[in-house]
Amino acid sequence: MRELVAATITSRYPLSGIATADGTRLTLSFREISPVAVPIDTAYGRLFFYLGQALEAVPEGRAFRLKTRQYWYRLQHGPDLSSKAAIRWEYDRTTPRDRHCRNHAQAAAQLPFGEGTLDLDRVHLPTGWVTIEEVIRFLIHELGMQPPCGDEWWERVITSESRFFAEFSGKGYVPDSN
């Protein structure tokens, strides 16, 4: 993922991890000294993107498989991590089943809804699993971000996505026919 992110979002801020003492858990994010949201230029002006993933190494036979415990992908107007997100995609495996959707999106927007208003920053819109590759597609295709690798972005996304599904998800990868 480090190669994909450096090629498509930024190489200025390395994607790096902090591991627990026993080495079974790792949290990935853009880092300088501490986690940062990185600037990206879009068709809508400069935004800041934060990527965070909490991973766990789970024994599988004689090897280990990385499992995602949480992810946070945020688009925000300022660089400070306490800045309110304009859009965020989140997952938390520990969310109880009788609560909100584990995989969800939220946005700083209000939507006329029936006879009232639905605050999209307070509700958890179900998304299903959101990979970093899908977020990168959104940043480039929908928001007009120019990736550092130029037109190679599509190949890099497909290569990363196929590797993720083949090596990490256990679901296998079936390329789209389009």
pLDDT of 170 reads 59
β-pairing, 25-30 with 103-107? unpaired
Task: Tell me the pLDDT tens digit for each residue of 116-141.
Answer: 999 999 999 999 899 999 999 999 99
Residue 176 in this model has a pLDDT that exceeds 70: no
Gap between the Cα atoms of 152 and 4, Å rounded: 11
Task: Tell me the pLDDT tens digit for each residue of 12-35.
Answer: 888 888 888 887 888 889 888 888
Task: Tell me the pLDDT tens digit for each residue of 45-101.
Answer: 999 999 999 999 888 888 877 889 999 999 999 999 999 999 999 999 999 999 999
Residue 114 in this model has a pLDDT that exceeds 60: yes
pLDDT of 174 reads 54
Beta-ladder partners of 110: 119
How distant is the alpha carbon of residue 76 from its chain centre? 13
